[in-house]
């Protein structure tokens, strides 16, 4: 099954006999708070217009637990995540499509979590809301309660030790911007740089100018050129397990399975005893 769906394909499915549950996961990585500016408000964006029937999902509160030693977006409490998905109408027998404002990171986080928790049919709207050509709605739906019961473990998950080991034994991609990987700037976390052995593979290179994913063949060529193969062990991390989920999604489109280090750099860099590499060399 393809991990992404086009806007035209989604329109057809919404008119079909078993329309997907729609999750609006608009969110943006923002450093505005540190500068005294208000952060992006996904719920307000949802209220101004969303795909008809879509339910808003709060990434910070429903797709993650509170920030702490495990990073800025640790895994959510499984029971609370399940309850949030059921409130949104999610059931195992009904497909789910997640979308965001177009960047794809937040929708990919929902996609990855639902797959990790055992949902069999989850996709991301390629290009997000900006790709949708149909009408928008300001009505807030009240979907029938779903019966999705999370069963974690269906998608590969890395912890800090596992990520460090994979950087030596397989391929570990760093999905952040190159300047953060190299340690030239670090706007959020304690220190800049990367996990020793990790390969720089910015998420932004997985999509075209319109925000849609490159073709499967193009993505496969990119990742193979960086050392990944479908038979080898591949993992991804980012700042806090959001853009990294988008890279896992891109790898899935390319036909290459990959694990996600959810704690990512925000967890790794919080421990001064963990090694940090800087510069363009993985080591």
Cβ contact 248:256 at 8 Å? no
> Could you report how far apart the first and last alpha carbons of the chain are, in Å?
36
CA distance 58 to 84: 10
CA distance 92 to 251: 24
CA distance 84 to 110: 12
Positions of E strands within the chain? 4-5, 21-24, 55-56, 96-99, 122-125, 157-158, 171-174, 199-200, 234-237, 259-261
CA neighbours closer than 13 Å in the CB half-sphere of residue 109: 32
Measured CA angle at 71 (ends 62, 90), to 5 deg: 20
Asked about 238 being catalytic, the answer comes back as: yes
The three state secondary structure string of 231-274 is: CCCEEEECCCCCHHHHHHHHHHHCCCCCEEECCHHHHHCCCCCC
CA distance 188 to 152: 29
Contacts of 258 (CB under 8 A, 6+ apart): 156, 173, 228, 234, 235, 236, 247, 248, 251, 252
Cβ contact 118:255 at 8 Å? no
Q: Which of 238, 248, 249, 253 is catalytic?
A: 238
Catalytic residues: 238
């Amino acid at each position: 099954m393809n991990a992404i769906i086009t806007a035209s394909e989604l329109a057809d499915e919404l008119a079909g006999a078993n329309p997907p549950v729609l999750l609006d996961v608009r969110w943006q990585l923002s450093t505005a708070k540190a500068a005294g500016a208000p952060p992006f408000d996904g719920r307000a964006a949802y209220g101004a217009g969303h795909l008809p029937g879509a339910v808003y999902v709060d990434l910070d509160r429903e797709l993650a637990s509170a920030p702490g030693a495990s990073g800025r977006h640790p895994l959510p409490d499984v029971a609370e995540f399940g309850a949030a998905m059921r409130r949104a109408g999610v059931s195992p027998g009904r497909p789910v499509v997640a979308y965001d404002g177009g960047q794809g990171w937040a929708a990919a986080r929902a996609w990855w979590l639902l797959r990790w928790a055992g949902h069999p049919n989850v996709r991301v709207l390629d290009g997000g809301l900006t790709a949708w050509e149909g009408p928008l709605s300001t009505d807030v739906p009240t979907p029938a309660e779903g019966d999705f019961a999370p069963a974690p473990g269906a998608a590969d998950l890395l912890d800090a030790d596992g990520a460090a080991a994979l950087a030596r034994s397989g391929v570990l991609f760093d999905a952040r911007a190159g300047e953060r990987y190299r340690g030239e700037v670090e706007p959020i976390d304690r220190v800049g740089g990367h996990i020793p052995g990790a390969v720089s593979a910015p998420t932004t290179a997985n999509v075209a100018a319109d925000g849609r994913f490159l073709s499967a063949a193009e993505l496969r060529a990119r990742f193979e050129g960086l050392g990944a193969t479908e038979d080898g062990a591949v993992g991804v991390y980012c700042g806090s397990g959001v853009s990294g989920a988008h890279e896992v999604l891109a790898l899935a489109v390319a036909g290459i399975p990959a694990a996600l280090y959810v704690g990512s750099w925000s967890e790794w860099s919080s421990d001064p005893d963990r090694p940090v590499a800087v510069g363009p060399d993985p080591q």
